A and B are shown apart, each in its own frame.
Chain A
């Protein structure tokens, strides 16, 4: 049996193909275009190619993500909260607090020792704790996204970012640049600001070890470092599978 978990995010669409032994046989991660349904097909094709199978080999499709409505052929749907919880528990059975930071939204999910969802919190209207914020900041600093996170670890000191809102933060970054604050320090300030916002959401469900971060921003080492310092506890990024694929994995697991 093969199940396809499809996570249609606002920026990226991810697919995870799982067999009955819960082994990942193919994945994909494709930029979400204007035509979501077309993107879904592209993502699916890519994952199928990676697995070396055809669409007919798939027994079940489970959709999640904000754009899950763009998977009309889905056999069932899973909310992002449950997908994140299930996926994180699978790759990290000791998890109690799941923190997911995507392009447009952050969320925190509390799971128990059996992987059941106990509580959750979603970010309220604020882009300052999401991937979009990072995109905006990276533009101003004119650095590649991959370098942005690493740069933060090179900061020698702290430069607190004053603005609590991404709109103000953009012009604050400009001010910092004009004041010749080194880019590593600015990068760290930005990451600290994001971690601050994300921590606010996470605290609502209560921080309990092990804390696991998933979603695209989990790849940003600068963010993970800031989050660790803000929460005052170790923060794990699963390496069994790319962190942004974990909700799609959770969706696939629910179909088995």
Chain B
């Protein structure tokens, strides 16, 4: 019998990176002497930055109440965009040399603009008009032309030349990271998934904020350990988490560790989950085209998933596959307060879950979570699901 899952040093490493993200980045800078660029939104073609020797780190919030953003960003915008801007204004990202956004939702865009304007240490910024219409055939060729410009801008700023060699090096590291995390997710298909949603979140988010070479090493070791690790907890109800930036530990801890009815997230369809890494870059003579196709055709964010001729949502097609493959019993839809793209999908998403006989619960997230209220709702949800099993 191997080690207990909760004691695996690799999971502890992910947690440490998650909690001490700024210390990691500062240490990386000190050791490598390279530049660190913050990115908003996972549509950012990180490989191009990485190929130039830059460490891309995702800008995320800290889940603490704040008032510092309110003169610049109205209350009607989502908690995430306030939280991220607050980190910048409070000086927590004082080590960033640059910041970039691959165009996505309006809320993030607004936060990014204020971040660029008001965080004093930002020397370089780049706004990429990434296509929103990811379901139309011209999006990838268009993106390719934008990636060309982005690459030139990065080269000019860093004083480097990014050839196919550098791109291949970056793509290899990134693809490996994706493959390894997919392998970890594969293990969660089992009746007794070895890791929880909380572990998965810390694994994925730490990938977004550290050098993926370091992350890959830990992933490989983790996969080795998981082969015979001891799973102490009862899996209980198998849940899928649907959402966006679901990196608030208090919520995941509540659902998986804080309620009398056992439950485990077996899959996270969100950008601190599978949407970040699920799709790899496929080989192509034209490396920029390869990247363009990967980023356009990855599981779409709801902000970009809409009809161009056909009434399909690619994201829903993926969710349907996951329901089957991961034997999902229940869904918790976490909706970031005021997030329009998600809100727009939710009625149709609920219909989809009903169609597949998957019970669902929708919760609204804020910068911090009303744990008391959530406990009541989640308990009732899990209890109801459990009762159905009892009488089936």
The answer on A and B forming one complex is: yes
A: which residues have CB within 8 A of B?
Answer: 124, 160-164, 168, 171-172, 174-175, 192-193, 196-197, 199-201, 203-204, 206, 230
Q: Are B71 and A204 in contact (CB under 8 A)?
A: yes
Q: Beta-carbon contacts of B55-68 to A below 8 Å, as 1s and 0s?
A: 00000000011111
B48: Cβ under 8 A from any A Cβ: no
Neighbouring A residues of B169 by C-beta, 8 Å: none
Q: Are A160 and B70 in contact (CB under 8 A)?
A: no
Task: Tell me, in angstroms, the Cα distance from A151 to B92 when the chains sit together.
Answer: 32
Interface contacts beyond A162-B368, A199-B67: sample of 19 additional A-B pairs, CB < 8 Å, sorted by A? A124-B75, A160-B65, A161-B65, A162-B370, A163-B368, A164-B367, A164-B368, A168-B370, A168-B373, A171-B373, A174-B372, A175-B371, A193-B65, A200-B67, A203-B67, A203-B71, A204-B70, A206-B71, A230-B67
Q: Beta-carbon contacts of B371-382 to A below 8 Å, as 1s and 0s?
A: 111000000000
Q: Which 7 pairs of residues, A with B, have the shortest CB-CB distance?
A: A200-B70, A175-B372, A162-B368, A199-B67, A200-B67, A203-B71, A204-B71
Q: Are A164 and B65 in contact (CB under 8 A)?
A: yes
Task: Tell me, in angstroms, the Cα distance from A160 to B250 when the chains sit together.
Answer: 13
B residues contacting the other copy or chain, number (CB 8 A): 16
Q: Are A171 and B75 in contact (CB under 8 A)?
A: no
Task: Tell me, in angstroms, the Cα distance from A97 to B323 when the chains sit together.
Answer: 56
Q: How far is the CB of B69 from chain A (nearest CB, A)?
A: 9
Task: Tell me, in angstroms, the Cα distance from A204 to B73 when the chains sit together.
Answer: 10
Q: Are A197 and B369 in contact (CB under 8 A)?
A: no
5 contacts between A and B (CB under 8 A): A162-B369, A162-B371, A163-B368, A168-B373, A199-B67
Q: Are A163 and B67 in contact (CB under 8 A)?
A: no
By secondary structure, the A interface counts as: helix
Known A-B contacts A171-B373, A172-B372, A203-B71; the reply to A160 vs B367 at CB < 8 A is no
B340: Cβ under 8 A from any A Cβ: no
Within B32-70, which residues are at the interface with A (CB < 8 Å)? 64-68, 70
Neighbouring A residues of B64 by C-beta, 8 Å: 160
Q: Which of B68, B71, B368: most chain A CB closer than 10 A? A: B71
Task: Tell me, in angstroms, the Cα distance from A71 to B367 when the chains sit together.
Answer: 44
B366: Cβ under 8 A from any A Cβ: yes
- B74 to A, closest residue via Cβ: A124
Q: How far is the CB of B377 from chain A (nearest CB, A)?
A: 12
